[in-house]
């Protein structure tokens, strides 16, 4: 059995997801403003599959996404973390730890994603050692591209997803700055 982490920052509480997080997180990603850079609208069943893949990442690899709450509050405001997935984007991307972050539109622009990801990267490196980490960001998502740069990610190339959306693939070297 793996020991599941629980991270606390100055303003945030980051917990491993539970089944109770599925519906609130689906509501967050389904909101037009929050979901504008997340690709096509995601059905409840597709969202369940994403959540189950995240749970599998924890079980198989010992890392995955965290559910983000403001410290001392129960309302879910997003998710972030480092998970393992195969997207069919090539050897330079697939089969690597992948970082991702999504916050509710109501909580954007406050530095919360940065605070959360700094904590996650620090935990990941302490728990798993320095590793190369990848991420992908939708073209036009200037805020996430800026945050990725601050976290030490550098662009590798653009790619087209199966649904036709264009993304930038980025990579953070082992022990990259955060």
pLDDT of 35 above 60: no
pLDDT of amino acid 132 = 96
CA–CA gap between residue 2 and residue 99 (Å, rounded): 20
Contact status, residue 41 vs residue 47, Cβ threshold 8 Å: no
pLDDT of 1 above 80: no
pLDDT of 3 above 90: no
Contacts of 126 (CB under 8 A, 6+ apart): none
Question: Read out DSSP for 92-145?
Answer: TTTTSEEEEEEE-GGGTTSSHHHHHHHHHHHHHHHHH-S--EEEEEETT-HHHH
Backbone angles phi and psi of 118, in degrees to 5: -60, -45
**CA 138 remoteness from chain centre:** 13
pLDDT range class, residue 61, cuts 50, 70, 90: very high
Contact status, residue 27 vs residue 44, Cβ threshold 8 Å: no
pLDDT of 16 above 90: yes
pLDDT of amino acid 91 = 92
pLDDT range class, residue 33, cuts 50, 70, 90: low
What average pLDDT does range 159-165 have in this prediction? 84
Q: What whole-number percentage of the chain has pLDDT above 70?
A: 92
pLDDT range class, residue 154, cuts 50, 70, 90: very high
pLDDT of amino acid 165 = 83
pLDDT of amino acid 25 = 86
What average pLDDT does range 111-132 have in this prediction? 96
Higher pLDDT, 32 or 132: 132
pLDDT of 176 above 70: yes
What average pLDDT does range 9-18 have in this prediction? 96
pTM: 0.92
């Amino acid at each position: 059995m793996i020991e599941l982490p629980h991270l606390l920052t100055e303003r945030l509480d980051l917990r491993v997801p539970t089944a109770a997080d599925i519906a609130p997180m689906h509501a967050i990603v389904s909101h037009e403003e929050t979901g504008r850079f997340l690709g096509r609208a995601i059905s409840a069943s597709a969202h369940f599959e994403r959540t189950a893949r995240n749970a599998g990442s924890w079980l198989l690899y010992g890392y995955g996404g965290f559910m983000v709450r403001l410290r001392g509050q129960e309302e879910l405001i997003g998710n972030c973390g480092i998970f393992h997935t195969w997207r069919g984007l090539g050897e330079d991307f697939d089969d690597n730890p992948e970082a991702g972050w999504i916050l509710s539109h109501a909580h954007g622009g406050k530095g919360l994603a940065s605070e959360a990801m700094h904590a996650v990267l620090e935990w990941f490196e302490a728990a798993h050692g320095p590793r190369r980490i990848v991420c992908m960001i939708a073209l036009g998502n200037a805020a996430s591209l800026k945050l990725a740069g601050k976290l030490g990610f550098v662009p590798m190339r653009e790619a087209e997803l199966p649904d036709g959306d264009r993304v930038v693939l980025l990579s953070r070297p082992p022990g990259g700055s955060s």
